[in-house]
Amino acid sequence: MYDIIIIGAGTAGISAYKEAIRHTQNILVINQGPWDTTCARVGCMPSKVLISTANRMHDILYADEVALNVKADIDRSQVMQHVRRLRDRFTAATLRDVESWDPQHKISGTAVFINENTVEVDGQHYQAKAFIIAVGSTPNIEIELKNKLAERLITSDQVFELEQLPRSLAVIGSGVIAIELAQAFQRLGVKTTVFARSAKVGVLTSPNLQKIAQQEISKELDIKFGYLPESFELIGDEVQITYDKENPQTLNVDYVLTAIGRKSNLSSLKLENIHPDYKDTKQLDIDANSKQLGKYPIFIVGDAYTSTPLQHEAAIEGKLAVKNCLNYPKIENIKTLTPLGIVFSSPEMAISGQNYAVLVKQGIEFVTGTVSYEKQGRAIVLGKNQGAVEVYVEKSTRRLLGAELLVESAEHMAHLLSWIISQQLSIDEILEMPFYHPTLEEGLRTALKHARRQLAANSNG
């Protein structure tokens, strides 16, 4: 019997293995499919390569904003080759790491549970005192539509395999993955149309920032808010989309990229063999903090079961779950990180700490400090004077609880903010810290001062 069996060798599973190996050699990792992680192969990394090339092109095209005249061409094959070349570099690094593991610690195959301490892989049974389930998720796709459109309907799993940039693309969805990819393709000269069922882009929950985000992103991207396609027809090498029931319109595109969320791979595990109630994997009794399944020594980490499908959260959960397995039944909270989420759109979106919607829902009394970046000095210098930031400060404690950002370099400012929020600092302590001139961070100071004025007005009133 193994001390721990880890099911799934993505970011969370690999992180769990690296921690477990420091404590026991009696471990097994079971993984279905490639061992190079969703993040490196079809997720974070190739998407960021594409976005980086797209943003460089955008900067070149709009170089006149900083008084330059520059011309540039896009080689439609070269861009996709570049994406794959860098992607292969990242996946090779992961694979090298996995190859260095003791061969007795890993097997390829699909694990299914036989009972609470036994899994089966290709007819073989393996038993463990504890399990870490790190099986991740896969893109949602309508099977009927896939059968109809065949290779013209793609998800993020296929998009980086395109030999060359398409001439046109329809993106279904307006969440993080949809917006990041749609904007990147548009910036690379692909005529891109987004169908957004809701009037929402990305992750921002503040109504004010969400409105600005929609306006800013719509300036360069054709987003059909409130519309989903009515029908799809394959006509030659193109897909003809009909949309708008009242006033039917058509659009012909090379590809349809569907980005309508992801579904957990938990259903592949036959958890009902542990308990009949676990047939419906959407209704599992998983503790939100310890990630424990029911009363079993089974911990579900990473994208397999989360409201925050993020690489860094998967990694830390995988690592911390090992402690829970080894010390079982002594269990600790493994959901320990201050929330931090980033969308690599332009302007970037980010959330640090508690978001606006959560604070409102929890009935917390807070003030909102705001800054617009339209007239912010450094943003003007950079030619990136768009967007705004909101900071949320608790009235009773004067502590910074959270922030939402829509601004150039939000990724960096969101990190600073989440680190500050983790320190539980008050607005007064934060405003004692250095703010270099001229920087985008000075905008944060403006927002914080705006919040402090409101706190003062409240206490005077």
Residues that bind ligand FAD (CB under 6 A): 7-13, 30-33, 37-39, 42-44, 47, 110-111, 134-136, 156, 177, 265, 268-269, 302-304, 309-312, 314
Q: How far apart are alpha carbons 34 and 30 in whole angstroms?
A: 11
Which one, of 371, 388, 386, lies nearest residue 451 by Cα? 371
User: Between 140 and 458, whose beta carbon lies closer to ligand FAD?
Assistant: 140
Annotated binding site for NAD(+): 173-180, 261
Q: Could you tell me where the DSSP H helices lie in 219-341?
A: 311-326
Cβ within 8 Å of residue 165, ≥6 positions away: 74, 76, 77, 79, 80, 185, 188, 189, 190
Closest CB to ligand FAD: residue number: 10
> Measured from the CB of residue 133, what is the shortest distance to ligand FAD in angstroms?
9
**The pairing of beta strand 137-139 with beta strand 153-154:** unpaired
**The pairing of beta strand 124-133 with beta strand 340-343:** unpaired
User: Between 37 and 345, whose beta carbon lies closer to ligand FAD?
Assistant: 37
- Asked whether the beta carbons of 369 and 452 are under 8 A apart, the reply is yes
> Measured from the CB of residue 311, what is the shortest distance to ligand FAD in angstroms?
3
397 residue type, one letter: T
- Angle of CA points 15, 17, 20, to nearest 5°: 110
450 noted as active-site residue: no
> Measured from the CB of residue 161, what is the shortest distance to ligand FAD in angstroms?
13
- Asked whether the beta carbons of 294 and 133 are under 8 A apart, the reply is no
- DSSP code of 236? T
Q: Reduced to 3 states, what is the DSSP secondary structure of residue 169?
A: strand
User: Between 298 and 304, whose beta carbon lies closer to ligand FAD?
Assistant: 304
Tell me the β-bridge partners of 169: 192, 255
Give 75-141 as a 3 state SS string.
CHHHHHHHHHHHHHHHHHHHHHHHHCCCHHHEEECCCEEEECCEEEECCEEEEEEEEEECCCEEECC
User: Between 38 and 346, whose beta carbon lies closer to ligand FAD?
Assistant: 38
Tell me the β-bridge partners of 262: 139
User: Between 13 and 369, whose beta carbon lies closer to ligand FAD?
Assistant: 13
> Measured from the CB of residue 300, what is the shortest distance to ligand FAD in angstroms?
10
User: Between 159 and 448, whose beta carbon lies closer to ligand FAD?
Assistant: 159
Annotated binding site for FAD: 48, 303
151 residue type, one letter: E
> Measured from the CB of residue 71, what is the shortest distance to ligand FAD in angstroms?
31
Cβ within 8 Å of residue 26, ≥6 positions away: 2, 3, 4
> Measured from the CB of residue 184, what is the shortest distance to ligand FAD in angstroms?
11
- The H or E element containing residue 232 is strand 231-235
Q: Give 339-372 as a DSSP string.
A: PEEEE-SSSEEEEEES-HHHHHHTT--EEEEEEE
- Asked whether the beta carbons of 188 and 162 are under 8 A apart, the reply is no
Q: Which of 23, 58, 275, 437 is catalytic?
A: 437
User: Between 76 and 312, whose beta carbon lies closer to ligand FAD?
Assistant: 312
Q: How far apart are alpha carbons 21 and 225 in whole angstroms?
A: 49
Q: Can you tell me which residue has the tokens 């054709």?
A: 222
User: Between 11 and 91, whose beta carbon lies closer to ligand FAD?
Assistant: 11
- Asked whether the beta carbons of 266 and 135 are under 8 A apart, the reply is yes
Annotated binding site: 48, 173-180, 261, 303
> Measured from the CB of residue 413, what is the shortest distance to ligand FAD in angstroms?
17
> Measured from the CB of residue 271, what is the shortest distance to ligand FAD in angstroms?
10
Question: Other CB atoms closer than 10 Å to residue 363's CB: what's the count?
Answer: 6
Q: Which residues are catalytic?
A: 437
